[in-house]
Structure 1
């Protein structure tokens, strides 16, 4: 979910009343960034407080190692009942989740559920007959690599897993509300929508006014000096002949998925209020990464690119009663890596391990200076075939990105984004760097990296990146070995 998909962030076509209402009692961070623009590395970062490069979490296939921490485990060890609902993408499938939670529910209970498409992960789609027809239609003609499915007939097919997850969360909250005594609880509920494929049922599908959509970012093939990864994906997705009306339909469907998520968030809020738990509950809402959704004539995301549609994510915090808060949209620069430290402070304990996040509670209370710089990273060095995520043929809708990742050119190679104020700088290991002035160029079109008048800015940001790597490249293990 991209940050600009919420109405309170200025999107005139968005319908997100429950997210917007949180700004009246909490904080929405408009400059929140994920630390990697795909799900597994991002989750390995925001669940630990460690940057992806620290332990090498830079692909979909390398999940948590046994010695690595998690905020879920920390909460459980500090007396919380931990309930994990929905997607994993963190603990390897052959490892137990018992050290991280008391209960786990994946939401995929329907006997018709099966894996249909793969992103180097298991992306499960609930496949009833209507969904199968829509999915097959998507994989035909010039929609093959678009991820566009369109209007769902009901909630019984694709997307049902999210409804199952929300129902499980509501059941748990209801149960806790009836307890006379019991442990404090920590619910980690992770939903799929608005993850591609782009599809949604009514009333949300029909609710979005496509005529109100904001301007789409221009085709990357017409923009010089962008990352080669984007040119490769654009060429292979074959969406360059699409009309603006077709992109509007795709983008409108995406916002419908966001609106459905907002409705489900509203169900959670109402259940907390109904059970008398809302005031004493801290609510954090965020996404692991964003989505291009047709910007630059590209859909989905890219693993080593950092334009705001995929790196700038929603992050909203509604604190419990008694926690100091100045309700607003905050301009403070923050990162998802800050979540474990924030949750630990809310929980009243110190994290038991070294990590690099910084609690957001001072910013929740009103401070507008949190970090002088925020970072997002991805890619690999030449020769790291284990990071290519190979094995996907042209029949997969993910093939344009995944096949480009297998190139030993510069496309899938290491890059690090640093944002400091209005400037966003991306250092690239094997190709041209990028520098954008987000105030003058919010669509990130004009690369300033080679212009003489910006070299002082470039050097300043390069120096900040050097310090960032010095601070976060490694740390002494928390557990001593016998010798």
Structure 2
């Protein structure tokens, strides 16, 4: 196993692609991510397969679309032992698998013995592989929510602002980084010849929007990009967005307040960038860097005030929540043409790419395609990419009930409980610079990103685009026919 490359997955939560400086955000401070362009690639057009945590993670760790095995809700995780997962695959192929940080994949009451050799959730520095994990976000210091709190126009915004230090909110991420650094240090002194697979997945820049100095003060507010306009001023959009906007109570916010919220989010991204730099520096210091394939990405994005909405939503696909960072720094043995690439890519391509880099065969059917050829210079990867979400009427198990107005998530989750069209099934398909969204119970959407990069004008009723719509519908039919299911591995007695 000495010649096998190491793998590092460094994963953000809720980070949008345009939050990085090299993607054109002048207010962003991301020097370590930007530096990947010197020796790797960054995808301008990478998409998650679902814009919320659990379905996206179940997809990018398997290479399966959310609809294939029904992972379309925050409360349906990989509960069956025979479900595939790249962590299990790497462990079975002789890798030492270290899982640090977020879960959102395996039910919290199940141990991770089959998935990794060590697991650290950030609440402790002890290996918890054989135990159920604790809730990732700290629960202490929660005060009782009053009616006055709910009426305050800041309550549903997720905005906190400047943190006094690193000891409260966000501390678990620092603990996760320390666990990663400690492991790399131990590995350098360990005679164990196994290559390592380090999956470090932290919480920033997931709301609430809050960050400490020096990152909070790094962001120049006058350079923060202008928001997309209020969704209430736009026509023919998803009813989910109109409903959330009406409930989040941000209608009277000034542009200065939104700018401050967005700057705080960018500060969180900058802290993520700094922590990524710490990991890279440790790999370099201990001579692991050259033989390590590094992937940096996020599970999905965040509206961050665009359309007058914060947070994310499960069945809408505007670029702020579906177009995510995906950066790859390959090991020295892999040919690479460093650059930003416009090639269309999906997060579910990651398992196939890892298998290709490590010369292993995945033991299960999956739908990803290796990105190694894009590393070497190809600018065409897939003709189409997809992002999906929502449910059919009557699918109450997907509503994620249990939240009341005292929860900051209430605007979205109360809308998900409606039996109107708000939370129902939708699928986004992008081919070239056209994005088409098919909706099961309401009007479809089509955006020409060349003419309308902010996705403001729904062209679905424009006769000039009708031939294009038919091509998208044909492509979607092929997509569903190819990926709707697969025959399970192995044979049963009959």
- Same structural fold, with TM-score higher than 0.5 when normalized by the shorter chain: yes
Query: Residue 300 of structure 2: which of 285, 289, 295 is its match?
Result: 289
Q: Structure 1 residue 53 and structure 2 residue 74: aligned? A: no
Q: Which residue of 2 aligns with 1:115?
A: none
Q: Which residue of 2 aligns with 1:171?
A: 182
Query: Residue 89 of structure 1: which of 104, 117, 122 is its match?
Result: 104
Q: Which residue of 2 aligns with 1:117?
A: none
CA contact (8 A) 2:401 2:413 kept: yes
Q: Structure 1 residue 389 and structure 2 residue 400: aligned? A: yes
Query: Residue 342 of structure 2: which of 300, 317, 331 is its match?
Result: 331
Pick closer, same or farther for the CA change 1:124–1:100 going to 2, 3 Å.
closer
Q: Which residue of 1 aligns with 2:317?
A: 306
Distance 2:383 2:147 in 1: 48
Q: Which residue of 1 aligns with 2:210?
A: 199
Distance 2:36 2:187 in 1: 23
The answer for unaligned runs of 5 or more in structure 1 is 111-120
Aligned counterparts, 1:148-187, within 5 A: 148-187=159-198
Note the C-alpha offset of 1:26. 0.2
Note the C-alpha offset of 1:182. 1.8
Q: Which residue of 2 aligns with 1:36?
A: 50
Query: Residue 114 of structure 2: which of 83, 91, 99 is its match?
Result: 99
Q: Secondary structure at the match of 1:145?
A: helix
Query: Residue 78 of structure 1: which of 72, 93, 96 is its match?
Result: 93
Q: Which residue of 2 aligns with 1:116?
A: none
Query: Residue 238 of structure 1: which of 226, 239, 249 is its match?
Result: 249
CA contact (8 A) 2:44 2:342 kept: yes
Note the C-alpha offset of 1:95. 1.7
Q: Which residue of 2 aligns with 1:8?
A: 22
Q: Secondary structure at the match of 2:295?
A: strand
Note the C-alpha offset of 1:134. 13
**CA RMSD in angstroms, aligned pairs only:** 1.9
CA contact (8 A) 2:108 2:134 kept: no
Q: What count of residue pairs does the alignment treat as equivalent?
A: 473
Distance 1:40 1:127 in 2: 20
Note the C-alpha offset of 1:175. 1.2
CA contact (8 A) 1:86 1:190 kept: yes
Note the C-alpha offset of 1:93. 1.2
The answer for unaligned runs of 5 or more in structure 2 is 1-14, 126-132
Q: Secondary structure at the match of 1:142?
A: coil
Note the C-alpha offset of 1:181. 4.5
Note the C-alpha offset of 1:122. 8.3
CA contact (8 A) 2:367 2:483 kept: yes
Q: Secondary structure at the match of 2:185?
A: helix
Query: Residue 347 of structure 1: which of 326, 348, 358 is its match?
Result: 358
CA contact (8 A) 1:284 1:318 kept: yes
Distance 1:323 1:58 in 2: 35
CA contact (8 A) 1:50 1:355 kept: yes
CA contact (8 A) 1:127 1:158 kept: no
Aligned counterparts, 1:189-228, within 5 A: 189-228=200-239
Note the C-alpha offset of 1:94. 1.8
CA displacement 1:307-335 (0-9 Å, x = unmatched): 00000000000000110111000000000
Distance 1:404 1:122 in 2: 28
Distance 1:134 1:169 in 2: 36
TM-score by length of 1: 0.95
Aligned counterparts, 1:351-370, within 5 A: 351-370=362-381
TM-score by length of 2: 0.93
Q: Structure 1 residue 375 and structure 2 residue 386: aligned? A: yes
Distance 2:428 2:279 in 1: 35
Aligned counterparts, 1:106-185, within 5 A: 106-109=121-124, 124-126=136-138, 141-185=152-196
Distance 2:269 2:399 in 1: 30
Q: Secondary structure at the match of 1:247?
A: helix
